[in-house]
Amino acid sequence: MYQVAVYGKGGIGKSTMSANISVSLAEMGLKVMQVGCDPKHDSTRLLLEGRAQTTVLDYVRNVPVGRRKLEDVIEVGTSGVLCTEAGGPEPGIGCAGRGILTTFDTLKKLGAENLDTDVRIYDVLGDVVCGGFAVPLRGEYADGIVLVTSGEFMAMYAANNIMKGLSNFDTGKPRLIGIILNSRGVEGEDETVRRFAKAAGTEVIAVIPRHKLFSEAEASGHTVREMFPESDVAAAVDSIAQRIIDVRDGKVSAVIPTPLDDDQMSDLAAGREIRPGCGNSIQARSGCSGCGRRNSIKETNVMSSCAAYGAVAAYLKIEDVAVVIHGPASCMYLMDTARAKSVLELFSRGMYGSRPNHNLFCTMMDDSVSIFGGTELLERTLRDVVSRGYRDVAVVTTCMPGIIGDDSRAVVKRISDENPGVRIDLVEADGDVAGEYNDGFMMAADNIVGMIDTSIEPEPGLVNIIGTSFFDLHTRAHAEGMTRMLSRFGLKENCRFLDETSTDSVRGFCRASFDMMINDTAGCRELASKITEHTGREPFPVPVPVGLYDYEEWISMVGRQMGMQEEASKEIRYIEGEYARFIREHAPRFKGKRIIIMNKLTHNVDWLLDILLDLGADIVRVGFVPSPRKAGCTIVSRHFDMITENYDTDQLEVDLDTLDPDLLISDLSRPVRGRCRSARFSKIGVGALPVLEYAEYLENVMRLPKDEGWKGGRKV
């Protein structure tokens, strides 16, 4: 597919030219797609009989990630041209340039790269005003550039700026196809534009006359090329289309332009002979001293934890990976503070043999960087990290580099090429479009899974544990419980993916003979599926068990897998005896107690339902709270008939008043105002016996008066 970006001053006629060129190319037998890259979203109007189509940014704003489809943002226009519009943010809020980045990323994720097209036309907003609108100039998007101008000075000034922008994205390959003169009737227009083109090292490839045919065609919502195919205007458009085809096919060469400097532009404006240029180097710019504090002008909901933090948290679980946050110091501070609390807690519990490493770095972006770009900071930080001896590095981008259009990928590639022994991963988690913590965690996991060496042969007696969270194992007692459970079959842990580990452990993942999920949550299944896709290994069919019935199933299957059925049967008999004794002793306290369970789909609650039912409790509601990330996930449970899906706190309020529960078990913060006792999900551990300990905790909670605790403000 050949990609062409059409640039020029705002109002110069780019959209009209783009639509006419698209029709001409399509009539020549090519399959064409036109992408409007202007917040006005009027690029494809003439291809759709004057209609405006749904923009990609409006679609992204209103449709959750899991429900997005490519066909919703693409329409078929005149002569079969595929049409899509980027759109833009609300006027005065946000960054329209960032919208271009988001549009391109969204189209890519939805599969636009797989469309059967020969040519893609990008119709881009007027001047190159920021990194976002310069994205179509990048080599991966534009194989060729066409500039539209008139004889007016500001139109040529804008065209010259665009050539400067093109030089900043120099790929070493000639890409400027030429200049279209869209006539405005300025005196000496043709001669002036040709002088400009010659001085810049290019040529005028077509002259479009001022003609009433344009207004006639546009009034009816069509292109001149469609309505008046035999006209001189249509012939000029066809010559442009043919030029694009010839450049694509190598019959005619594009050029690398030499933009005019300020003195040369002054000569052009004055009608003087244009003096020789002084070069095309990009001068270093100093920071902006005028950047001051800005206040929000519109309140918005704040995400509790962003995708960038999720990606950072994932990489920090690997002790010898250096994590570079490409963003401001405030982002690093907030992420590091949140991380430090949990790490210090684990260290105090003795979960680390030595004090954990702290391999976190930041590019320290400030306000001036948002204007002038931050790639130099990223390059400097990466060089520093590599010089310290790190051989595995992760770069995680935050909102700011995404907004200003930093080409972080090019920096990472450059440093990687310079240091062949260093692996540098990039997670472009910038902005809320990337999602929240879990989305960022999975973006990082995609890269980390790629570290696994699939050539390593399995060894007997080793097992991997897969999970997004090892929360229930982060006490010494629970960790020892896991060790005891595996040791009954002579098994040892090889790698916890993804928990406190090392690059050697991750690379040696395939050394284990089989892999077990820590639980059967949506996140854990997603992580396991990524591992399966990379390694071809399917996880053990039963996750690490919690509760008697899961434990019995797990013990039986592992016994068969290891050829140790007798040992498995002996263990089951022992556990069943302990469980039966507990039920006899504690059932009187639970019998007939009315219990509500409220769950965010974070926990498997089968073990809880099992023990409560066996104890004789009356479970009056099991509510599963919906989550945007888990939309479309299927609830798997032995007690599916008891579950109320899409449960929310409003329904809980009604249930607290009408069902008169004795106990609410929840993982959400919610005041019950003395209407019942409340208990939290807590660290359960694995196997059958920890469930009995949790049941004792619930028994103790039910001994408390309803109005104890915070006197009506209890959180559950």
Same structural domain for residues 586 and 475?
no
Q: 521 and 394 share a domain? A: no
Least confident piece of the model among 112-121, 277-286, 310-319, 423-432: 277-286
Specify if 149 maps to a domain: yes
Residue 599: pLDDT over 50:
yes
Is a pLDDT exceeding 80 seen at residue 405? no
Asked if 659 and 621 touch (Cβ cutoff 8 Å), the reply is yes
Per-residue CA distances from 490 to 485, 564, 567, 625 (Å) = 9, 10, 11, 40
Would residue 712 count as lying in a domain? no
263 is catalytic: no
Q: What pLDDT sits at residue 282?
A: 37
Which pLDDT value is given to residue 616? 97
CB 23 within 8 A of CB 78: yes
The whole-number pLDDT of residue 356 equals 59
Question: Where a domain ends, among 525, 544, 563?
Answer: 544
Same domain, 412 and 533: no
Check whether residue 338 and residue 221 sit in a common domain.
no
Structural domain of residue 125, as residue ranges? 2-270
Least confident segment among 67-76, 224-233, 285-294, 499-508: 285-294
Of 270, 299, 320, the residue at which a domain comes to its end is 270
Is the pLDDT confidence value at 446 over 60? yes
pLDDT, mean of residues 231-235: 95
Residue range 100-147, pLDDT digits in tens: 878 888 899 999 999 999 999 999 876 655 666 667 777 677 899 999
Same structural domain, 333 and 422: yes
Q: Are 56 and 201 in the same domain?
A: yes
Per the residue annotation, which of 105, 127, 472, 499 is the catalytic one? Answer: 127
In a domain, 558, yes or no: no
- Among 245, 270, 295, the domain boundary falls at 270
State the total domains in the chain.
4
Helix (H, G, I), strand (E, B) or coil at 552: helix
**Lowest mean pLDDT across 36-40, 409-413, 422-426:** 36-40
Q: Of residues 40, 570, 600, 706, which has the active-site annotation?
A: 40
CB 598 within 8 A of CB 667: yes
Task: Count CA atoms within 13 Å of residue 612 on its CB side.
Answer: 25
Per-residue pLDDT tens over the stretch 490-549: 999 999 999 889 999 999 999 999 999 998 888 899 999 999 999 999 999 999 999 999
3-state secondary structure of 661: coil
The pLDDT of residue 291 is above 60 = no
> 286 lies in a domain?
no
Higher pLDDT, 592 or 370: 592
Average pLDDT over residues 331-351: 69
**Rounded Cα distance, 25 and 668, in Å:** 58
Q: Within 13 Å and on the Cβ side, how many CA atoms surround 639?
A: 21
Judge if 624 and 691 occupy the same domain.
Answer: yes
Quote the percentage of the chain above a pLDDT of 90.
62
What is the distance between the alpha carbons of residues 306 and 430, in angstroms, rounded to a whole number?
A: 9
Residue 442 or 474, more confident: 442
Is 685 part of any domain? yes
pLDDT at 283: 37
- Is residue 413 located within the same domain as residue 499? no
Q: Is residue 607 part of a domain?
A: yes
- For residue 419, give Cα distances in angstroms to 393, 414, 423, 666: 12, 9, 8, 51
Burial 375-391 (b: 16+ CB within 10 A, else e): bebbbebbeebbeeebe
* Inter-axis angle of helices 689-702 and 476-487, nearest 10: 150
- The reply to whether 108 belongs to the active site is no
**Would 319 be classed as within a structural domain?**
yes
CATH number of residue 92's parent domain: 3.40.50.300
pTM above 0.85, yes or no: no
Please count the CA atoms within 13 angstroms of the CA of 83 that sit on its side-chain side. 28
Q: Are residues 185 and 119 in the same domain?
A: yes
Tell me the mean pLDDT in the region 541-560.
93
The answer on pLDDT for 306 being more than 90 is no
CATH code for the domain in which residue 468 is found: 3.40.50.1980
Query: Max CA-CA distance within the chain?
Result: 103
Residue 707 catalytic? no
DSSP state letter for 70: G
Residues 515 and 383 in one domain: no
Asked whether the beta carbons of 280 and 76 are under 8 A apart, the reply is no
Q: Is 639 exposed, middle or buried (0-12, 13-18, 19+ CB in 10 A)?
A: middle
Together in a domain, 265 and 327: no
**How far is it, in rounded angstroms, from Cα 562 to Cα 540?**
13
Q: Name the nearest CA neighbour of 328 among 383, 382, 397.
A: 397
Torsions phi, psi of 151, nearest 5?
A: -85, 0
Residue 342: predicted pLDDT: 62
Go through the chain and tell me how many residues it has.
Answer: 716
For residues 537 and 648, state if they share a domain.
Answer: no
Which of 135-144, 200-209, 283-292, 356-365 tops mean pLDDT?
200-209
Hey, is 554 helix, strand or coil? helix
**Paired strand residues for 58:** none
Judge whether 436 and 488 are in contact, CB under 8 Å: no
Residue 238 within any structural domain of the chain? yes
Asked if 14 is an active-site residue, the reply is: yes
